Structure 1
Amino acid sequence: MIRVRPPLTLDTADMARLLNQIIAAGGTTALARPVTAQDIAEWIAFDPPRSAWHVAVDADERIVGFQWIEPDASLPPEAANIATFVQIGQTGLGIGSALFEATRTAARALGYLWINANIRADNEGGLIYYQSRGFQDYGVIEGHRMSDGQVVDKKLKRYDL
């Protein structure tokens, strides 16, 4: 059984572990360097107003995914960026669906009209996930240079609330 809740301070180490496994596997996130529990704690603590964070936990309270939305200077004020991370090997089990239900509810409560997903074009799993939630293609960023120097294209998807 998957349960979704706001993250606790004690969750940040497990969130960092999960994210670092994804970063190490490569090809699915714009993040290029490992993160620490302190990094995650700072992201949560210093997130701008109109942000929302959720974690998915299994029956043993282990973090199996997390998602957040936040405003972004590249978007109009009625839109939020979304980021989603699910434990490797645990996709297709309803974790992303449960997270998105909570995030969608939070986005509406925060006054957003739509959610933007900015996904690496080579991240097939991410593209499928957002498509399955009802996100629609609306743009492409070609030749995006990541912090490690790698150049990738990004697809922009939009979910109207």
Structure 2
Amino acid sequence: MMIRTAEYSDAADLAAILNEIIALGGTTAHLTPVSGPIIRQWMDHDPEASSWVLAEQDGAVIGFQFAEPHSQLPPDAADIASFVKPGITGQGTGRAFFAATRDACRNLGYKWINATIRADNQSGLTYYSAMGFKDWHIDPAAELSDGRITGKISKRFDL
């Protein structure tokens, strides 16, 4: 497995992974499929204050993670999102790209990283806990864009 910085040319592969996760349902707050151009827009959100990394195995992208500023967080906090191709989980992919994201966030001057996870996403909650994140905010009434109430748990990793 190789970890590297994600580039614009990877956007279609990143979108395909996220779309596969969306199609399975039950883990991501994203409910609408995305395209390569949408991923590139996300990458352009605040590139000087963001980190985008991906994992490749045998030349294929198998997961990605990004951390960036968020309007509902203080300036010393980055918000993180992680996506691994279904069927690949449990092979150390998330641990590998979190090491790169953690180091990038330190280099960008962040003091902590926030992860907000659907309360019904047990695999996501387990992953972030395994990375050392601790619960800091629980919103049991949080709803998805389609109106379903799933609740959300925010976890914090101090750098």
Please, what TM-score do these two structures have when normalized by structure 1? 0.95
SS of 1:14's partner is helix
SS of 1:38's partner is helix
- 2:114 is aligned to 116
- 2:156 is aligned to 158
Residue 61 of structure 1 is aligned with which of 59, 62, 67? 59
Give the paired residue count.
159
1:95 equivalent in alignment to 2:125:
no
- 1:4 is aligned to 3
Q: Give unpaired runs (5+ residues) of structure 1.
A: none
Moved more, 6-15 or 128-137: 6-15
CA distance in 1 between counterparts of 2:22 and 2:98 reads 21
- Structure 1's consecutive aligned runs of 4 or more residues displaced over 2 angstroms after TM superposition are 45-49
> Residues 109-145 of structure 1, C-alpha deviation per residue, up to 9 Å, x if partnerless?
0000100010001000000000000001111012112
Given residue 44 of structure 2, which amino acid in structure 1 is its aligned partner? A
Given residue 86 of structure 1, which amino acid in structure 2 is its aligned partner? V
Q: Give unpaired runs (5+ residues) of structure 2.
A: none
CA distance in 1 between counterparts of 2:88 and 2:139 reads 29
> Residues 10-62 of structure 1, C-alpha deviation per residue, up to 9 Å, x if partnerless?
2111111110010011111110100011111111123353111001111x221
Q: Is the 8 A contact 1:48 1:71 kept in 2?
A: no
SS of 2:110's partner is coil
- 2:76 is aligned to 78
Q: Is the 8 A contact 2:46 2:69 kept in 1?
A: no
SS of 2:29's partner is coil
SS of 1:145's partner is coil
CA distance in 2 between counterparts of 1:46 and 1:136 reads 27
CA distance in 2 between counterparts of 1:72 and 1:8 reads 21
**Percent identity over the alignment?**
49
CA distance in 1 between counterparts of 2:119 and 2:142 reads 10
Given residue 56 of structure 1, which amino acid in structure 2 is its aligned partner? A
